[in-house]
Structure 1
Amino acid sequence: MMSKRYFLKTAVAAAVALGAVLAAPWSAAASAVVERWGSTEIALSGPSAGNPFMEVELSATFRQGARTLTVAGFYDGDGQYKIRFMPPETGEWEYETQSNRAELSGRKGTLTAVAPSAGNHGPVRVKNTHHFAYEDGTPFWQVGTTSYAWAHQTEALEQQTLATLAGAPFNKLRMAVFPNQDVKNQPPRFPFPGQPPKGWDLTRFNPEFFRHIEQRVGQLRELGIEADLILFHPYDKGYWGFDSLPADVNERYLRYVVARLGAYRNVWWSMANEFDFLKAKSMAEWDSYFQIVQASDPYQHLRSIHNAFVFYNHTKPWVTHVSVQSGAIAEDFERAVLFRDVYNKPVVYDEVKYEGNFSRRWGQLKPEEMVLRFWEGAIAGTYVGHSESYEDPNGLVWLGKGGVLKGQSPPRLAFFRKILSESPPEGLEPIDKWQNHPFAGKHAQYYLGYFGLGKPRSWPFVLFKTGLKDGMKFRAEVIDTWNMKVTPVNGTFEIVKRDDYTFADKNGRSIALPGKPYMALRIVRVDQ
């Protein structure tokens, strides 16, 4: 059975394709009413002479009682300046602007933040060390996908991508801010004014480019999808020069992006994709870029960095969670769990190869292999990301450009996400990671097991000891993860201590299994 959310998103897909699902409008500036974790915008007219991007400084201090937040403003072209605010609490907020230009400084106002509307749970945060939740406490079970350059395509193709996402199971999308030369098309707009390929004025930004990114991030927000924004990537390959900008330009770019997009609750910051392929940037430089984003973001959105072959030191305090590329680590739970223990943070295997028939080895997963990685990652207490790379005569590959999904994994991932949503809200924790025990859950309460490529015909009802006592009772279900079927097991299982490590059914019973791969078990305590 598919999740209700999956069918709901499918139902609105056509509306998205027609542009009916748009970014929520910005609230008016003064005396605005805006929902908590919504966005309001202060728009000011100011100087347009000279170079406002370099010469004008603007911010506002928002105050509620003893709490203050300082939010940077930005120049939006044509003499227009903007400051965007995402209220972290309900109630009245006062603000006052600060600027090195008199006409922009000392502007005061108030706004009222009301209770969030349905579906607005706030930004995603780290919860319980290894997991995620929205700020209101609602669990966030990450089931993400990647489409690097989807927001740099034609209007028709981008609308098609939004329609696809509306009917897909994904709640996070990794996407690049800079265009991607790998997709072999001229993007309709660029981040700097000038003439391609390299005739850029790097002292100015192109507001139209960033408005377009904002529009797409806002549309993802309306669909309930987190936008994991990749701030740098190596896929320019020197063509436009965005992969080798001077450090001072990179720093201004980061501050500008955060000022424009920080008030979107669904934003995550990914410092780079395959950061180690950007050879000109040192580890110290990456550290400084992390620190700039951290210092510039009043809302402290999640921050990560993605690797090719060299790992960043994810223990550093500005890294909120671990983003990993590995072709093999999520093939089994015993490998996948290791990064949790090393970094003691949430681990997202954002790239585990892709479903498809691409010529390169990273794009040749069978759909069964893609789904297996999600389940193995979950049993390890980690999270996994999807994409697909099916050959297309017109070059319309989801990984690069978006469009439509062609693979068989998405409906199975919708089923997987539904199973996760029925799990303990604290997150799935490995039950006995010391010795080949393919179960995660919550001790003495909930167990989710996955047998992967194994083909067991039965499973003896034996549970690891933590939290267990004689006489506890459990019910069980057999889950066919590929055919998306849940079959209850008749009766209940009452346990007794078997040895120093385990408890077992008091009558020595086993659960019958069909002897095929991709099977799972769900065991839930019933005598509470």
Structure 2
Amino acid sequence: MNVLSTDDEDAAHRGVHEIALRTATPAENPYLGVDVEVQFERPDGSTVTVDGFYDGDGTYRARAYCDALGEWRWESEAADPDLQASGSFTVGPSSLPGKLRQHPEDPRQLRYDDGEWFLHVGDTGYRYPADSEPEWREYVDSVARSGATKIRTWFARSRYHVEALFADESRESEELDLDYWREIDRRYRYALEEHPHLQFQVIPYAEDGETLRAYRDDPMVRFVGEHVQARFSAFPNVHWCVVNDAELVEGEVDPEVVESGAKVQKGLSKSVVDALGRDFAEREPWGTLITSHQQRSTGYDFADAEWSDLATLQDLDQAGGERVREYRERAADPVILDEDRYERYRGPDHPRYFFRRLFWATLLSGGHPTYGGNRTFEPHDGDEQGVRGYDDSGLVGMDDFVRIHAFFEETALSLAGFVPDTGMLADEPDRVVCCHDDRVYLAYFANPAGDGPETTAVRSHPQSTALDLPAGEFAVRWYDPRAGEWIDRGRVGGGRREFTTPADGDWVLVLERLSASPGK
């Protein structure tokens, strides 16, 4: 399947189609000095206008996200006659899942454009797009095999800064390093071809505080946002995160911080992030989701912003889902726990249990969990830094992703319509996380041996906890999230009931409502 077709080739439904326009007389400044727009007309007559982007050698490209079957038409507009053209192409059926959207039946959940619920179990692979990362292919292939469905990525080649995006570090030439951009392009395209269900969070500015603080005054800094959207917005496997790990300040940042060129954590004006978000939303042609990201334990300041589609959190030891449930009340959007502990940075004593507990607690709290393994925010060293394949890494934190997938496949459940319910718990609210819809009740029995998530192991005895159920009759099943095996336990009536896990370790309880009492 050709996921990125060109010119008059047939295109794939929910894939990308690219138009190439070439001029014999390139402008002196082909980046800031030329405006190229292409209007795409769908078969139903609706239109989308996108910016073209310069890709070297007098060539501008414009890309469409092919979200409708049938014949599409296009027409370009530019001052240069060489860049004025029109044409058509046909979009045919494909198995591509498409872009990520808020779920129409539950705005706090996500789904692909083909209607499939998106089970968010993410990984952090910041440096995947960087041309200095030699194991990028081994990394993304192993992530896909693990069952992860999202990777967090940024454009920094160095530790924090995105100077590699520009032809010169000072940005005075007003040119981009197109070789670097083309390599980023190649890696996202590879993932789309080989692993079309895998989503990428794209953080164009990484943690480059110096560049971000120049956003209002430097046209090339703003142009990065324009170029990244023109180049990648049509890709069905991306969504935007405008900044990462930001320490937000009201008003202007201390001039000494600006002068120092410090990274984002040293201070970034909240108004700059808001301007970034609004600019991305205003330009966005294909409805690509947008979020931001803040320093650990500072929450998410843009839950009410019109441009924000996802409430993204960075916190610590959220093994009970408290922070996720807090932000579910604040935002009618998906709540993403994108950072907690890393397995190799502030790592827990019992990583497989810690992360399994984190994932299940986040999911049943109505959120969307993410893993961190290697220190992918640092350049590749062949060991614990950069991106590398997981198969021989010694990391275990994602080992249970496949059993999370198996649970939802075997129950034929999605979490659309489920709500977290701490009121079900008669006792031990820190050891059980519950959610339900009108028919099915889910409870994760974490069964920790101690109190601190960082240090505790799973207990070597069964766990008993009382739950308050509504009236009715329920079929009882237990799922072992370590082995992926099921145990049936017959039926119970409603009211306060004590449930005991079938054995030691953590378990997931599934209660399916078979009937309700009269009048319910």
Tell me whether the two structures share a fold, i.e. TM-score over 0.5: yes
> Is 2:19 aligned against 1:42?
yes
Pick closer, same or farther for the CA change 1:153–1:364 going to 2, 3 Å: farther
> Structure 2: how far apart are the matches of 1:26 and 1:334?
42
1:262 is aligned, of 233, 238, 245, to 233
1:475 is displaced (CA, Å) by: 2.4
Report the Cα distance in structure 1 between the residues aligned to 2:379 and 2:368, rounded to whole angstroms.
33
Asked if the contact 2:480/2:507 (under 8 Å) is kept, the reply is yes
Does residue 1:302 correspond to 2:275, yes or no? Answer: no
Partner of 2:451: none
- The aligned counterpart of 2:199 is 226
| Structure 2: distance between partners of 1:274 and 1:335 | 17
> Which residue of structure 2 lines up, in the alignment, with residue 317 of structure 1?
306
Does residue 208 (structure 1) correspond to residue 184 (structure 2)? The answer is no
Partners of 1:200 and 1:24 lie apart in 2 by: 36
More deviation, 408-417/376-385: 408-417
**Structure 1 residue 371, shift from structure 2 partner:** 1.4
Query: What whole-Å deviation, never above 9, does each CA across 1:248-305 have from its counterpart, x for those lacking one?
Result: 2221110000000011101110111102252564212111111221122211111111
Q: Select between 70-79 and 277-286 the one with higher mean Cα deviation.
A: 277-286
Query: What is the aligned partner in structure 2 of residue 91 from structure 1?
Result: 70
Alpha-carbon distance in structure 1 between the residues aligned to 2:323 and 2:268: 30
CA separation in 1, counterparts of 2:375 and 2:335? 27
SS at match of 2:107: coil
Aligned residues: 471
Structure 1 pair 479–42 and aligned structure 2 pair: CA distance change class (3 A): same
SS at match of 1:400: coil
Q: Answer yes or no: is the 8 Å Cα contact 1:230–1:269 preserved in 2.
A: yes
CA distance in structure 2 between the partners assigned to 1:305 and 1:418 by the alignment: 31
Deviations 1:437-477 (A, max 9, x none): 64544434212211213457465785532xxx54x3x3222
CA distance in 2, matches of 1:362, 1:258: 35
Q: CA 1:231/1:156 → structure 2, altered by over 3 Å: closer, same or farther? A: closer
**Contact kept? 1:332, 1:376, Cα under 8 Å:** yes
Paired AA for residue 418 in structure 1: A
Shift of 1:306: 1.0
| Identical amino acids, percent of aligned pairs | 20
Structure 2: stretches of 5+ with no match in the other structure: 248-262, 449-458
Residues 1:252 and 2:223 aligned together: yes
* Cα shift readout 1:416-444 (whole Å, capped 9, x = no counterpart): 23223445335262352346464544434
Contact 2:125/2:153 (8 A) holds in 1: yes
- Residue 365 of structure 1: how far off its partner (Å): 6.4
Q: Distance in 1 between the 2:231 and 2:155 partners? A: 12
* Counterpart selection for 1:452 from 446, 450, 460: 446
Q: Deviations over 1:319-364 (max 9, x none)?
A: 0011110013x221344311111222111100011123x4xx3677
Matched, 1:73 2:52: yes
- CA RMSD in angstroms, aligned pairs only: 3.0
Partner of residue 168 from structure 1, selected from 122, 135, 146: 146
64-73 or 299-308, larger mean C-alpha shift: 64-73
- Mapped to 1, the partners of 2:272 and 2:289 lie a distance apart of 19
Cα distance in 2 for partners of 1:344, 1:476 equals 32
- Go from structure 1 to structure 2 and tell me whether the alpha carbon gap of 1:155 and 1:355 turns closer, same or farther (over 3 Å shift): closer
* CA offset digits 1:345-395 (Å, max 9, x no partner): 111100011123x4xx36776221111111111121111100113899983
Q: 1:516 aligns with which of 467, 482, 504?
A: 504
Under a length normalisation based on structure 2, what TM-score does the superposition of the two structures give?
A: 0.82
> Where does residue 402 of structure 1 map in the other structure?
388
Aligned in 2, Cα 1:363/1:491: closer, same or farther, shift over 3 Å? closer
From the superposition, tell whether residues 442 and 293 of structure 1 become closer, same or farther in structure 2 (CA, over 3 Å).
same
Quick check: 1:367 aligned with 2:345?
A: no
Aligned 8 A contact 1:397 1:403 in 2: no
Pair 1:444–1:178, CA change in 2 (3 A): same
Structure 1, 453-462 or 135-144: larger mean CA deviation: 453-462
SS of the residue aligned with 2:490? coil
Classify the secondary structure of the residue corresponding to 2:361.
helix
CA distance in 2, matches of 1:390, 1:318: 30
Matching residue of 1:121 = 97
Contact 2:199 2:237 in 1 (8 A): yes
Residue 420 in 1 paired to residue 399 in 2? Answer: no
Aligned counterparts, 1:375-394, within 5 A: 375-389=360-374
| CA distance in structure 1 between the partners assigned to 2:375 and 2:62 by the alignment | 42
Alpha-carbon separation, structure 2, partners of 1:242 and 1:294: 17
Distance 1:180 1:434 in 2: 48
TM-score by structure 1 length?
0.81
Partners of 1:52 and 1:447 lie apart in 2 by: 58
Q: Give 3-state SS (helix, strand or coil) of 1:122's partner.
A: coil
Unaligned residue ranges in structure 1 (runs of 5+):
1-22, 505-509
